[in-house]
Amino acid sequence: MKRNSEMSDQPDQLDVFPTSVDLTRIDEEMNMRRFYRICLQPDLFGGVTLVREWGRIGFRGQSMAMRHADEGEAVTALMKLAATKTRRGYRDARESGTPEDDSEA
């Protein structure tokens, strides 16, 4: 007999760790308005891709994708990147109160 997890596509574990992080760094004196977005996406081969996007708020910016063998490894990488950016002055985009405007891209 199959277990419930084998009969459905639902994972055994609930999502406890974040799968996306949106950060901003704004310093009006330095004319700095940056965003940094990190998200996890499943790939076709059973792994997880960590996608990083960064640039000036209101513009398209750049992106980079890194493939990881499993979700745990990808979540660890996401948390490390978010911690590094937070130490460098980036803050949660929801806390900063300035929504990103991609209309200028």
Ordered domains of the chain (ranges, CATH): 17-92 (2.20.140.10)
- Banded model confidence at residue 90, pLDDT cuts 50, 70, 90: very high
- Please say if the pLDDT value at position 58 is more than 60: yes
- Residue spans of alpha helices (H) in 11-92: 71-87
- Please say if the pLDDT value at position 38 is more than 90: yes
pTM (two decimals): 0.73
Mean pLDDT, residues 43-58: 95
> Residue 28, exposed/middle/buried by CB under 10 A (0-12, 13-18, 19+)?
exposed
Mean pLDDT, residues 6-14: 46
